[in-house]
Structure 1
């Protein structure tokens, strides 16, 4: 079991080599400047989208999941 945990930890450490930090900065800027944020996904991606939306909402952003019954229309500010 310990060996599996070591493999997972090593994999997580190596992830930073695959992350485009400039793209992350751009995404953060887009999120900060949006009036509202809309996320969408299906299946497992949908679960991740909803989890991401909840985290953004906890940070104070206005977030909607596309397809939910209370989703407003998207505007040019979003």
Structure 2
């Protein structure tokens, strides 16, 4: 113990990059997203690849908060419509299925929120609100993550979504016992 090997060094880089990324997120965008979540009749989340995994975790926590949440593309996902919100998580903001989902949601009368690393993407231009999760190095240099392409965004999205859940829980005084009661009991 006490030896600073490659694993400890890698962990420190990742934590510093996450801190740099998340410290640059605009609080107004986060507040707008929390307001949209609270006012939506139902919330749908979408993404592709590892971004979808982050979004799926978010949907689970939204359900724990007592909100009606669905993962787009699941077999039991209902039709989206007026009063609903689609939250799309896409690093590039150019993933064809994500852009089409946003277009379809808008066509059905739903609002769309984009959580993306690319604020100039087709998805961001299509969205009603955008949360920009720009990638930064551990030294706060934009677009300089040492991790493999997209990894920092996907990690950051997961932590960002969890921070929204905690903020929502505290702001709206959601009792953790109620959240636990909503947790699956089929495991």
The residue number in structure 1 matching 2:75 is 69
Scaled by the length of structure 1, the TM-score of the pair is 0.83
Scaled by the length of structure 2, the TM-score of the pair is 0.38
Q: 1:14 to 1:62 in 2, by over 3 A?
A: same
Q: Tell me the alpha carbon deviations over residues 34-64 of structure 1, each in whole angstroms, 9 at most, x when there is no partner.
A: 0000001111011111000001111110000
The residue number in structure 1 matching 2:58 is 52
User: For residues 21-40 of structure 1, what are the structure 2 equivalents within 5 Å?
Assistant: 21-40=27-46
Unaligned runs of 5+ in 2: 85-187
**1-side partners of 2:11 and 2:74: how far apart?**
38
Q: 1:41 to 1:5 in 2, by over 3 A?
A: closer
2:47 paired with 1:41: yes
Deviation at 1:17, TM superposition (A): 3.2
**2-side partners of 1:46 and 1:12: how far apart?**
19
When the two structures are aligned, how many residues end up with a matched partner? 78
Q: What SS does structure 2 have at the residue aligned with 1:57?
A: helix
Q: Which moved more, 1:39-48 or 1:6-15?
A: 6-15
